[in-house]
Structure 1
């Protein structure tokens, strides 16, 4: 605690020369070093800053040798104010109706607030002359300062590095590009004391202890200051949080269009997946591609051509046969380019248009009835070990056909000879000329 009466300015509502106000706070206890005023009167103090006090000392004339029975003050108050107009009584000494007279007072009390102005208000003066007030020495003591530290500091995105410790004043954190703002929540170690609140400012804006403050983030480095002023004593401490918002070389959407039709893309788009496949019909000659950058400032190219984020690019001419590869590259100033690859495949028709199995001129009945999307059948026949297999492809020019591994032209007959009595299996493979992919039709034939 310190004697705040030794700081700031002192004055009085009245004084009798030469006993002016400053003589009561010069620390010298002598008869000539006192303040004398005409009651009612006040001895006024304006400390150098806002103080919270809990002790006051008034040395009256008896402390410098005058008759204590006649020269003690009768009634006086300690009062505080923040505007020097409205005053709050903090403590009172009343020697008018008590058997115990306070010739000099050294009193403590529980403070409830801090004030910028203090005064001793004398309403009844000396016992021998109630119209005169006299104080040889006055002291006013402030309470010990409270903590200017935080007890916690949190943010709703990213991780503080290092972990929070109240005496560690600098921290860093990193967030993704998509995080455009964060909530910073500082909590004071001593949020309130004696009716006063700690003052916390986040980037200069007052924030209540334990309450989140929203801070917008630019791409790159963002410096956030958290200034704490203690509830009592007005000690200050600054914490610094450096948040790096990463740049982005990612897309937020990617689609392939045939005219106005959005084609299915596999797998479904996710910005951290970089390879996709799209199938188109054989009749499709070109497509458009629409890519949207997460960071609008990124540069976008599609197969080397400059593209505009969020707008269709093309047309992209497809290969007549085989796959067409489209590379989408996102470039930023501070990150390596990111490439997304879209492989556009032409749908392969590896189906049969028809399948006939004959014993001489008689067609066997397939179970179930033939369908190009049904791949397994059964039938039966007696009295023969040789049958004619006639497969016809839906896409005659794009496939090859084999029967039990033997090539056969689409629509032509293949003779399956040397069949055995009992169960026989015929495999008809429809094979892509471009990719080698195949579909297999299976016919189980029972001969009796």
Structure 2
């Protein structure tokens, strides 16, 4: 195990010269190579130089260098930080009587560590003196969690958190396939999307989506140990097509000219009735029910007559899915030429 604080830069809120905090991390247990503070509480902090996973620590007290047994620190703890501002507790010891304190803890990641004395030497609780501090690197914990999961289209609901495994997403009809991008919390983990391995942080293979249906995407994360596993599920619903396949506006036996020419993805048109009092429309669609100005019309059949005003008359044609989604087309008809 690597001692991550050995001969690294150490600072303290208090020390008695020449017993600087750097002496507590130089690896020596010579009597003069120690840190000494004359107020308690007190602390020393060490910059490990980078973010590391740590899982154990060791404190060697003054008796290791020949002092009596009561020259051990009573109450102390280890903290971690990424920025020297926000600190979190890692491990703590109370009523210590050991010359060497060696402890393990659940692995955590940190850039900085801080040794805090809450109660000093048994022989004098107002003094703190430390021979040697060691903090040891450990392997990252095995994780089958995702750190992030995103979609090429649509939004996850609810928003992603690693502890939530079931999601939904809605996409438009024009989205006929989708890719997911999973990123593992543990870089050693294996990720499979619908059974096909995907590199962490990279987009998956395209998953085909059926119109008006829900497609299930399973993202399996397998921990480095091969035993830790977690499955995230995304239910993606693609909207029904809701397009007209054709739209004809007729006056008598004649079809009026639409501008622009009909295209199912264009929703607004104009035409001129040439002075005629009414028109009919023939809408065609295989994607849903059709209503013309609120009245149902069978696909491919003639609507009832629509009277025209002397101004512009708007004719609304709706394509409606079984779930109530609507695509609206508007034809603006001028009565006079």
Q: TM-score, normalised by structure 2?
A: 0.51
How far does residue 187 in structure 1 lie from its aligned partner after superposition?
A: 1.3
Aligned to 1:251: 146
Report whether the alignment pairs 1:436 with 2:318: no
Residue 326 (structure 1) aligns with: 217
How far did 1:382 drift?
A: 5.0
Once the two structures are superposed, residues 238-297 of structure 1 have per-residue CA deviations (whole angstroms, 9 ceiling, x without a partner) of: 8431264466553145477xxxxxxx243389852753537598997x988774532367
Instruction: Report matched runs for 1:138-177 at 5 Å.
Output: none
Distance of 2:13 and 2:181 partners within structure 1: 50
Match of 2:314 in 1: 425
Q: In structure 1, what is the Cα distance between the partners aligned to 2:174 and 2:161?
A: 30
Give the Cα separation in 1 of the matches to 2:262 and 2:330. Answer: 12
CA distance in 2, matches of 1:429, 1:287: 28
SS at the partner of 1:201?
A: helix
**1:190 alignment partner, SS class:** coil
**Shift, 1:203, TM fit:** 10
Quick one: structure 1 residues 399 and 391, their matched pair in 2 at CA, closer, same or farther if it must change by over 3 Å? same
The 1:364–1:202 alpha-carbon spacing in structure 2 relative to 1, beyond 3 Å, is farther
Query: Residues 255, 278 of structure 1: CA spacing in aligned structure 2 closer, same or farther, 3 A cutoff?
Result: farther
Cα shift readout 1:177-203 (whole Å, capped 9, x = no counterpart): xxxx9999541612633xx64554359
CA–CA distance in structure 1, aligned partners of residues 320 and 198 of structure 2: 41
2:304 is paired with a residue whose SS is strand
Match of 1:390? 282
Structure 1 segment 92-131 matched on structure 2, within 5 A: none
> Do 1:293 and 1:309's aligned partners in 2 also have CA atoms closer than 8 Å?
no
| Unmatched 5+ stretches in structure 2 | 36-43, 79-90, 92-104, 109-140
Q: CA RMSD in A?
A: 5.1
SS in structure 2 of the partner of residue 412 of structure 1: coil
The CA deviation at 1:432 is 2.8
Deviations 1:11-48 (A, max 9, x none): xxxxxxxxxxxxxxxxxxxxxxxxxxxxxxxxxxxxxx
Matched, 1:411 2:244: no
Instruction: Output the CA distance in 1 between the equivalents of 2:173 and 2:258.
Output: 31
SS of residue in 2 equivalent to 1:373: coil
190, 202, 215: which is aligned to 2:15?
Answer: 190
Structure possessing the higher radius of gyration over alpha carbons: 1
Note the C-alpha offset of 1:429: 0.7
Map of 1:212 onto structure 2: 47
Counterpart CA distance in 1 for 2:34 and 2:160 is 37
Higher mean displacement: 411-420 or 286-295: 286-295
CA deviations over 1:119-171 (Å, ceiling 9, x no partner): xxxxxxxxxxxxxxxxxxxxxxxxxxxxxxxxxxxxxxxxxxxxxxxxxxxxx
Give the equivalent residue in structure 1 for 2:77.
240
Q: Would the alpha carbon gap of residues 249 and 439 (structure 1) be closer, same or farther in structure 2, given more than 3 Å must change?
A: same
**Contact (CA 8 Å) 1:357, 1:388: kept in 2 or not?**
yes
SS in 2 for 1:415: coil
Q: CA deviation at 1:428?
A: 0.4
When residues 310 and 207 of structure 1 are mapped into structure 2, their CA distance, relative to the original with a 3 A threshold, is farther
Give the number of aligned pairs: 244
CA drift at 1:438:
1.8
Q: Which residue of 1 aligns with 2:251?
A: 359
Look up the match of 2:240. 348
Report the alpha carbon displacement of residue 342 of structure 1 after superposing the two structures with TM: 1.5
- C-alpha separation in 2, matches of 1:377 and 1:327: 43
CA distance in 2, matches of 1:300, 1:426: 52
Distance in 2 separating the partners of 1:423 and 1:207? 93
Q: Does 1:445 align with 2:333?
A: yes
Q: Distance in 2 between matches of 1:207 and 1:388?
A: 98
